[in-house]
A and B are shown apart, each in its own frame.
Chain A
Amino acid sequence: MRGVGKTLRGRRIISDVDLTVPRGSIAVLEGDNGAGKTTLIRILATVVSPDEGTALVNGHSVITEGMEVRRSIGVSFANERSLYWRLNAFQNLELFGKISGLSKRVIARRSNALVEELQLGAVANGQVMRMSTGQRQRLMVARALLNDPTVLLLDEPFRGLDEQGLDALCRLVVRRAASGMTLFIVAPLIAAVTPIADASYRIDEGTVRRVPLGQTEPMEYP
């Protein structure tokens, strides 16, 4: 991203954002609620267009080459209602696998592997509406990985996760980065993932700055 800015409903959400995530690395971005994290992810996922600046994903412009960008990314938004709640996990994965152009056999193989890797086996045949927030969170990550993207965008993927779920997700993130996938993760608090990150950033009132790993904002209590 170079000089990216966005104003929504008269409010400046992000300003002059410069950010580069090298291939095969894990970058994490933290910031308070309303700081502009989700808007940044949405711009990279081509669902919000920037007002100014340049944003490239895998070398493709999010404005002029939206389809190429969408082919190369996997995205998990913070909104757990982006799943079809009356379908089960496998049916959700099947739908998005077909939309991505995967064959039935590949969808079945990858779905089974992801459900196992993210420890969703016990609930995968039940409707999504019966799942807990943490389980839905992991299912959204599984869906984002189904098309084996080169860039994975995760918006608050740790929300609602228990210790076991967090561990499973962190292991998955490290494995994917080791295999060459580029990961960009945003969350209000990233302390849990800084040990696995290659770079960390902080966003305050729409302005992004790089922060040394392990030196995210400390919490202070009166």
Chain B
Amino acid sequence: MSVFRIIAATAQKDFRTAISYRIGFITSIVAAFWGLFAFRFVSKLVNTGQFAHSTTSYFKFAVVGLLFVSILEPTAAGTALSARNEQVQGTLEYMASQPVRRIVLGLSWSAYGFIQSIIVAAVVVCLIVPLGFSVSDVNVPVVVAVILLTIIIFSSIGNIGAAIVIVFQQGVPLVAGLLSIVGVISGTLFPITELPHWLQFFAHLSPLTYALEALRSALLSNQPATSYSTDLLVLVGFAVVTLPLSAVFLERAFRMAQERGSLATF
């Protein structure tokens, strides 16, 4: 209970800080919408018969991929960025003196980025319906499960990024770069079958590949329940490994910074 309260309190603090700048939320909606608007025209050039999910228009395929990545990016890179902001603002050291587990601190850093991106994604979905985006026979439990599992995995990746920031005072570009690579090889904009074989190997090491596969099936093509089980099991496996791993990384990072006396340096 107190874990959720701390996460909620930190998200509220970040929300209050964000609205004190006023235009940030609106610009993020405009940016997300404009990116998808362009894909409405790109989709006219793509022959959907060339790849799996051929019953789906390329526009829908790309929208699901881009919107999902737009939710994950603030969650993962946002965690490292929050750690860096706390460091630069001078609040990291004080946070470290509070009776909070390091992993809870890490998860709380990703909360606002996740909530904001979910709201932005919901608003953008409403805006792109007139452009031809629709879903049918949605498997809601699978969609919810995929989002939750992927958020746990990417928050954990963000926590590892935050740990790097705490030790080296840098790390945000590393996480953002990693996400960019993962986005390309995991089928955000095109099926992974279009990739060279050696890259397909790496695509299968990415949790985003399985998340997008399950999400597109659940949102766009009404697959039977059994077809999601492998993807969901793989995502559970990733979550079970990455969350405790990120807790260990964060704990170690704080301990190193305590030994070096660098929590207040940036």
Contact = CB atoms under 8 A, between A and B. Distances in A.
Contact of A46 (B5, B10, B91, B258): B258
Given A49-B255, A98-B5, A42 B261 contact: yes
Interface SS, B side:
helix
Chain A: interface size category: 20 to 34
A79 B264 CA distance: 9
A218 B202 CA distance: 70
Interface in B21-78: none
Interface in A54-84: 67, 70-71, 73, 75, 77, 79, 81-84
Contacts of A48: 258, 261, 263
Given A49-B258, A87-B13, A70 B93 contact: no
Given A46-B258, A81-B89, A91 B94 contact: no
A95 interface: yes
Given A77-B93, A79-B93, A70 B261 contact: no
A122 interface: no
A49 B8 CA distance: 30
Given A48-B258, A99-B100, A82 B17 contact: no
A77 B255 CA distance: 19
B137 interface: no
A84 B97 contact: no
A209 interface: no
A48 B254 CA distance: 10
B20 interface: yes
A79 B93 CA distance: 10
Nearest to B18: A86
A82 B94 contact: yes
Given A6-B261, A42-B261, A49-B258, A96 B98 contact: yes
Interface centre among A47, A81, A127 (most CB of B within 10 A): A47
B1 to A, nearest CB: 10
B130 interface: no
Contacts of A79: 90, 93-94, 264
Nearest to B104: A99
A42 B12 CA distance: 28
Chain B: interface size category: 20 to 34
Contacts of B260: 8
A87 B94 CA distance: 16
A42 to B, nearest CB: 7
Interface string A78-116: 010111111100010011101111000000000000000
Contacts of A6: 261
Contacts of B101: 67
A141 interface: no
A188 to B, nearest CB: 18
Contacts of B5: 98, 101
Contact of B16 (A49, A82, A86, A99): A86
Given A77-B97, A87-B17, A98-B8, 20 more contacts: A8-B261, A42-B261, A46-B96, A46-B97, A46-B258, A47-B93, A48-B263, A67-B99, A75-B94, A77-B93, A79-B93, A81-B89, A81-B91, A83-B91, A94-B9, A95-B10, A95-B13, A98-B5, A99-B9, A100-B98
6 contacts: A8-B261, A48-B261, A49-B255, A87-B17, A98-B6, A99-B6
Closest 9 CB pairs of A and B: A81-B90, A98-B9, A82-B94, A70-B99, A49-B258, A71-B99, A86-B20, A45-B97, A8-B261
Interface of B: 2, 5-6, 8-10, 12-13, 16-17, 20, 89-91, 93-94, 96-101, 255, 258-261, 263-264
